[in-house]
Amino acid sequence: MTLTYQSTRDANNTVTASQAILQGLANDGGLYTPTRMPEVNLDMAVLKDTSYQEVAKLILSAFLDDFTSEELDHCIASAYDDKFDTDAIAPLVKISDDQYNLELFRGSTIAFKDMALSILPHLMTTAAKKHGLDKKIVILTATSGDTGKAAMAGFADVPGTEIIVFYPRDGVSKVQELQMTTQTGENTHVVAIDGNFDDAQTKVKEMFNDSALRDKLAANGFQFSSANSMNIGRLVPQIVYYVYAYAQLVKSGEIVAGEVLNFAVPTGNFGNILAAFYAKQIGLPIGKLICASNENNVLTDFFNTGTYDKKRDFKVTSSPSMDILVSSNLERLIFHLVGNNSEQTLELMTALSGEGQYSLGDVDRGILDLFAADFATEAETLAEIKRVYDAALYVEDPHTAVASAVHQKYKTKTGDQTKTVIASTASPYKFPVVAVAAITGETDLTDFEALEQLHAISKVAYPAAVDGLETAPVRHKTVVSVADMQGAVERYLTIAD
Ligand SMILES: *Cc1c(COP(=O)(O)O)cnc(C)c1O
C-alpha cells in the first residue's frame, strides 16, 4: 500500500511521496507528514556489512514508495558518489568510550545539509518527470548559512529549475557567505536580507501560501518548491545515516545488535533530530534523542515546560545555523503528539503566528519523553571544543560542540552511561575563527589566517570546499529588505508587473 503524506494542517490534503517532494510545502501552510510508519526490516546482521548506498535504498524505498526501484537506484547513485571525500559517506570517529562523532560533513559543501541536498534535486526532477510537470520549478530557500550553499550545489544548472536563496546578511560566517556569493550556475540567485533567519523563513512561507502569487507564477510557467527541511525529500534521506551509524557500530564491535544507543543532535529547525525520531519509530534501538540548542534555547524550554514561546531576543551565536526561534519541523512532531490531528495542529500553529506562543494541553507525554533537551552557552560551547581537542586531538565545529557539550551535561545530570553518537553537522573549516579561538585563545585572526592555523592544529586536509574561496569571484551582491523579498523573486523570474 502506498504511504500517505498528509498536511499537518488539513486532513483532506493528502498526497504521495513524489507529489509531496514536488510541492515542498502544502498550500495550506502545513507540512506533508507520513501518517503511519512503513515496515522496514532492520536486520543488523545484514546491515552491518551494507554500504551507505544500500542502506539508503532500504530506507528510501520504504518511505518514498511511489518511486520505482530503478528511479531510486538512479537518484542514490547520482547523489552519494565522489562528491563525498570518503567511500563511507558518513564515517564515525571514536572520541571516547561513550562518544562517537558521526561526520555528516564530508560532502561538497562541508555541512550535513549535503546528506539530503545531494539527492533532493534528483528526487525532484524524477518526480517532475513522473507527473509530467510542464512548469519550471523555482526552489525558494531561506538559509541560516548551510542549506543555501548545499541546495545550490545540488540544483546549479539542473535543467527545468531556478533556485533563489535568502540569507541573513549579518547572520552567517565569512566562509559560509563566500561559499554562497561565489556560487556559479546560470539558474542560481543569492540574496542577502536585512533581517534574521526567522524573517527569511517566515517570508518564504508566506510566498508559498500566497495564492495570487502562485497563480501569477503558474501563468508564467513556474511552480515553487522548497529545499528546506519542510520538504519531506530532505527528511527521509536524513533517516539513512542514523541506521547506518548504528550498523557500523555493530560491525566494529562497539555495540551489540539490539543495544540501546543515544543520539545527540545540534538542533535548529528540528529537521535532523526529527529524522532520528523517525529512525526510532521504524525500530532502530534508540534510547534518548538529545536535543541540543545554543543560546536560542526555545526548544529546551518547550520540552521542559510544554510551552513554545518565540517571544524572546534573537541571539547571534557562534553556531549560526542554529540561530532559529521558529523551528519549522517541530510542527510535524506536534502533529504526531496530538494523534496525527490536523485540526489541533492548525490551532496551535495559528496561536504561534498570532500570539507568538502555544501550550500543549493535556497530551500524552510519551513522545516528548523520548527527548532530553538542553542548551549550551557560548562559553560552554568554546570550552567543549577545547575539551574534545585536549582529550582526542579532534576539532569539533561550534554546532557539533553544542551537541557534544549538551551530551556532557546530560550525563552529569542523569548518570545515563548509554553510548552516544554526536551528529557532527559541520566541518570546523566552515567556522575556523571560532574553532581556533577556542583552542589557542587567539581571537583576532581573519578567516583565512584561521584556516591556516586550523590546518596546523587539526592535521586534517583542507577540504575542496575552502580551496580557492579567498580569490573566487563574488557573483552575487544583492541585498534587499524583508519587505522586498517577493519583489526580488519577481524580478529574477521577470514576472514583475
Ligand atoms: C542546519 C544545521 C543545523 C540544524 O539542523 P536542523 O535540521 O535545522 O535542526 C545544525 N548544524 C549545522 C551545521 C547546520 O547546518
The tens digit of pLDDT for each residue in 132-143 reads: 999 999 999 999
Q: How confident is the model at residue 281 (pLDDT cuts 50, 70, 90)?
A: very high
Cell of 428: 570546523
Model pLDDT for residues 210-221, shown as the tens digit of each residue: 999 999 999 999
* Fold adopted by 92-108+233-462: Rossmann fold (3.40.50)
The yes-or-no verdict on residue 436 having pLDDT over 80 is: yes
Q: How confident is the model at residue 496 (pLDDT cuts 50, 70, 90)?
A: confident
Q: What pLDDT score was predicted for residue 362?
A: 82
Residues 6 or more apart whose CB falls under 8 angstroms from that of 462 comprise 429, 451, 455
Cα–Cα distance for residue pair 1/17, rounded to 1 Å: 12
* Ligand 1 in reach of 426 Cβ (< 6 A): yes
Ligand 1, atom nearest to 324 Cα? 8
Which of the listed residues 272, 318, 326 should we mutate to test ligand 1's pocket, taking the one with most ligand atoms within 8 A of CB? 272
Cβ 142 vs Cβ 168: under 8 Å:
no
In the block, cell 514561546 appears at 309
Cα–Cα distance for residue pair 138/116, rounded to 1 Å: 18
Lowest mean pLDDT across 225-229, 291-295, 296-300, 478-482: 225-229
What is the distance in A from the centroid of ligand 1 to the CA of 333? 17
Q: Cα angle vertex 106, ends 172, 403, to 5°?
A: 60
Q: What pLDDT score was predicted for residue 361?
A: 84
Q: What pLDDT score was predicted for residue 145?
A: 87
Is 485 in a helix, a strand, or coil? helix
Residues 6 or more apart whose CB falls under 8 angstroms from that of 192 comprise 166, 167, 168, 169, 478, 479, 480
The yes-or-no verdict on residue 91 having pLDDT over 90 is: yes
Q: Mean of the pLDDT values across residues 392-414?
A: 98
Model pLDDT for residues 357-375, shown as the tens digit of each residue: 999 988 888 899 999 999 9
**Torsion of Cα atoms, 342 then 345 then 351 then 357, to 10°:** -170
The yes-or-no verdict on residue 1 having pLDDT over 90 is: no
Q: What pLDDT score was predicted for residue 76?
A: 98
CA-based torsion, 392, 394, 395, 400: positive or negative: negative
Cell of 152: 545550490
Q: Which amino acid does the sequence have at 89?
A: I
Question: Within a 10 A sphere around the Cβ of 83, how many other Cβ atoms?
Answer: 17
Question: Within a 10 A sphere around the Cβ of 32, how many other Cβ atoms?
Answer: 27
Q: Report the DSSP pairing between strands 136-142 and 222-226.
A: parallel
* Ligand 1 in reach of 149 Cβ (< 6 A): no
pTM comes to 0.96
Q: What does the mean pLDDT of the chain come to?
A: 96
**209: Cα separation from own chain's centroid:** 22
Q: Mean of the pLDDT values across residues 363-391?
A: 96
* Ligand 1 in reach of 109 Cβ (< 6 A): no
Ligand 1, atom nearest to 399 Cα? 11
Q: What is the largest CA-CA distance in the chain?
A: 64
* Ligand 1 in reach of 427 Cβ (< 6 A): no
Q: Cα angle vertex 299, ends 275, 297, to 5°?
A: 125
Cell of 344: 489541533
Ordered by start, the domain boundaries in the chain are 92-108+233-462
Q: What pLDDT score was predicted for residue 144?
A: 87
